Structure 1
Amino acid sequence: MVDRDDVLTAAQRALNADPAASMTAVAEAAGISRATLHRHVDSREALLVELGTRSLDQWEQRLDDVDVEALAASDDADRIRAALEELVLGYVDDSDVFGFALTDQVILANAALEARTQVLADREAVLFAAAQSVGVLRTDLPARWFGHAIYGLLVSGRDAVRLGDVARRDLGRLVLSSLLTGIATP
């Protein structure tokens, strides 16, 4: 018997490969019938909300792993920079698993997921503000801008890998370099 976690993992893979995948295609990817899939989730929308929740759980875990609030209070520029780099590289890794969730309109339009997204973005902004105060990030930009910039780089990175424009192995370096040093000639 296939458990719920296996079904959701297969659904993530199927939707990353084809964000418009039907429930039939998702069921086939999980190696189950559509009827069995519907025993795990009521609808495509419910599936997407469940996967969006998993995505946010992972984001929250990344923030917890670097202990973002304690780190921000440390005023230690080296630790803050190292944690920021770890966080961004973790997000790049997560974008392999949750890439479709970055742009899926059902997920983005769900009020509960949007509210939780704002809470996590607020936690993240605390780190960005601390990074600004110790000279790791530019102070002439709003702290929340960095979260939007990272998000945009993750979407761009996902698309660039999918289109074959960049190698997956280079993506972390490209995202981190674009974020921290920009794209202009130094």
Structure 2
Amino acid sequence: MTIHSSHPFLPPPEDRDPVRRLRGRLPAPVSVWTSSNGPIRGGWTISSMLVADGDPGELVALVNEDADWWDLFRKTRLACVNVLASRQSRVSEVFARVAPSPGGPFRTGEWVDSAYGPRLADAAAWVGVRLVDADPEHSGWGLLVRARIESVDLAEGRIALQHLGGHYS
């Protein structure tokens, strides 16, 4: 086994995708979008999103169409957007399917049911949304998903988790 001071599989700078490198230089919010239908629960980590102010306001997100949660959201048209707090990076990794969670992703963190989907205790904010279009267009590699904001609950004193340059802060 060799110990590397840098990532052993990182391509040389001249071979790296400049769009991906640009994205890595911009701070991104960290959220887990969840939906449920009876006993069925699903969720996915989403960082490519923005808030569109208006009446009604919307969240616009890039969603991986292969995410197991996407079909559930399309069916129910409802989601709880859990804006993760500063110490919830493990939840992000579990719902992005890059870290294990024996028993399933909802075993990581404390979850309670809401009208929009499972809600993570101690998140920085919770947003109840309704899907605008179940067949959105692609934007880059993802689906350009619009969701109308129906409720917002902000947790005072909790700092939202962000991702920048491959690290959480």
Q: TM-score, normalised by structure 2?
A: 0.28
Q: Pick the structure with greater CA Rg.
A: 1
Higher helix share: 1
Higher strand share: 2
Structure with greater contact order relative to length (CA < 8 Å, sep ≥ 6): 2
Q: TM-score, normalised by structure 1?
A: 0.26
